[in-house]
Structure 1
């Protein structure tokens, strides 16, 4: 019964023009996301001084122009991700207008949305430095909202005028939007009130700065993954979940005593979530990726799953988020939130029962997913076994929802042919 209700809700949602605009924009940008994630993995593993391959093979001593290549990769990656955010703002507005109106689409809505979004992130970034602007564009919910606002505004105005905009009205509206959003952006940049207030409330709730309880770690992970599911992928969501000080104490103890079994804080965000609850990225995407490869029937989704498999092995799930898409997909929300929590509960039990030592050592970004806990425990094979168990259990959690995804896609295809 609940399965039918969830499928029916999803099918009704997919018929909405605004939802179609969002999903189609993400899928159009899949190649860009794939390239950006690939460059990110190469940079983080090979050309970052803390990268796993650099640490193992001492690559900076053997690769000519090591720093220059790394900087080129970093800048290219930033440009691609910034372009993705700008194109999301353009495509959502443009697709919404083109799919919802009988009037000729001259792409003006998309262009205005793109320029306004760039104006906003430029004014709210600390400076006009490319890397800082790119970091400001990491939250893809903002360009989506911008595109929807501009798109719906154009549709409303078109319905009132019953014709396409004349040139003078278009120019007038363009500058009005620029002035309004510019004023809002400048105010946000000057005050940062909303971010400060929200951050204070969340950190107060989680008691960041103190040793958190197991349930507060679960809460932090849930907040982080809810934010990521709706496209709020930014430094803030990472900061909420990562700034717990007990990991430094654990690392200091392990370095002094060379004993992971007696560290002062065996249950931390790092020992649970970083090591076992985010294999493949937020939402245990490695498990979803594997389930999709074996179960999904839609050719477009099969392609996205094959394309992203190598990346989820390196803890980067962006291509999968865009290609299925996982983002904003009601059928995948429950397992996206549930599978990391179940994996963390398993890790909590194994660590508490002294079956696995806590993963104490810090692991470089983009380290292969299944090796995170293994390396974090200095090569303990039991941590590797637990990682495999967590992926398998998460795959079982995803399995019925992937079946529903198949059913919803199949029924939607049948309706299109009727």
Structure 2
């Protein structure tokens, strides 16, 4: 299987569209790092229930707490919005980078950026920054827009021997095509049908309102991580989890009886996924980060792993997604999906055999992942040991795939991974 993965990755890395995506992610790595860093500061120190705010009471002790928090939040949103807009521009620009006409390249990028901005702006007719910023979290959309526009410009240019400047039929065709694509995309995006349909199907599958089974929790997590791997940054498992009565019932029981072992619903999204299945974020990225630090040979990837280590401790893996990149990397898809499932299965086994109590207590916002189970069980050391075991096993799962990346780099050089 390893040889097949390497061959598939090598073939994929030679494709023009894939090179455009990877080049774009690498260029935007510094901006993603800065955005994630500011986001962590806001979530831990300025969020109403952030872990540092809860410990140090920063709301009372830090001068200008509220304006600082607002400024930090707006700055973070602007950075992430700028990254999404840049993706739309750069993917189209890189797609036509082989062109000998620089004007055409920039025209493709500007066209892609304009169409993408119209799409996300339509989600907020009043141009509310928060709503637009939330829409820009779906990184797959600007990538698709950039690829479509880049492809169209490439094909039109191939049939234009005199260039766009003096070829009015080509310009008119391009203009009409862009209007059609933009209008169709705007209509589809405005209805948000695909998003509501997807959520409805998942809700029906998991039987919202009833306690989910262990297998349904695994399925929901797999769907979420798969979407995340392809740039659809969504939080639908947490949204769905909030619709179940189990967490409230468990907390009410603990408050009344002070006993974690007999809560009515020991197996929940919180006791499995949040506690053991997302250390470092989706895909157990803390385990990947640690494995990269000790195993990867490529200097660029080592640098990205060092940059992101502190961030993955707070479950923010954006720097890894861009810097390795994890996004769209065929070699990393299997461990990205498998590591959380194995960790959750281990958590399920230990909880059901009464070796570890289920995490039930509410913990401060943005608590480092490795401490969630420990604090959620009111400081039970066995939960902390289980978290460390899940981290170690996940690192072992990633280990052979990091070896495959090293092999792919040695065989192919800096086409994709180097």
Q: How would you bin the TM-score normalised by the shorter chain?
A: over 0.9
Distance 1:124 1:415 in 2: 37
Give the TM-score taking structure 1 as reference length.
0.94
Q: How does 1:8-19 map to 2 (within 5 A)?
A: 8-19=7-18
Q: 1:375 and 1:333, CA in 2 relative to 1: closer, same or farther beyond 3 A?
A: same
Q: 1:106 and 1:263, CA in 2 relative to 1: closer, same or farther beyond 3 A?
A: same
- The residue aligned with 2:2 is 3
User: Which runs of 5 or more structure 2 residues have no equivalent in the other structure?
Assistant: none
Distance 1:266 1:144 in 2: 41
Distance 2:293 2:201 in 1: 41
CA deviation profile, 1:40-65 (whole Å, cap 9, x unmatched): 10001001110001111111111011
- The residue aligned with 2:254 is 254
Q: 1:211 and 1:38, CA in 2 relative to 1: closer, same or farther beyond 3 A?
A: same
- The residue aligned with 1:184 is 184
Contact 1:123 1:185 in 2 (8 A): no
TM superposition shift of 1:102 = 4.4
4+ residue segments displaced more than 4 Å? 167-175, 235-238
User: Which runs of 5 or more structure 1 residues have no equivalent in the other structure?
Assistant: none
Distance 1:365 1:170 in 2: 55
Could you tell which deviates more after superposition, 228-237 or 402-411?
A: 228-237
Give the TM-score taking structure 2 as reference length.
0.94
- The residue aligned with 2:128 is 129
TM superposition shift of 1:254 = 1.4
Q: Does 1:340 align with 2:340?
A: yes
Contact 1:373 1:387 in 2 (8 A): yes
Contact 2:301 2:324 in 1 (8 A): yes
Distance 1:57 1:177 in 2: 57
Q: Does 1:313 align with 2:313?
A: yes
Cα-Cα RMSD: 2.0
Distance 1:64 1:414 in 2: 49
Q: How does 1:128-277 map to 2 (within 5 A)?
A: 128-166=127-165, 172=172, 176=176, 179-184=179-184, 186-188=186-188, 191-236=191-236, 238-240=238-240, 243-277=243-277
TM superposition shift of 1:171 = 6.5
Could you tell which deviates more after superposition, 254-263 or 88-97?
A: 254-263
Q: How does 1:337-416 map to 2 (within 5 A)?
A: 337-413=337-413
TM superposition shift of 1:170 = 7.8
- The residue aligned with 1:43 is 42
- The residue aligned with 1:114 is 113
Count residues with an aligned counterpart: 414
Distance 1:43 1:127 in 2: 25
* Secondary structure, counterpart of 1:107 in structure 2: helix
* Secondary structure, counterpart of 2:220 in structure 1: helix
Distance 2:345 2:216 in 1: 13
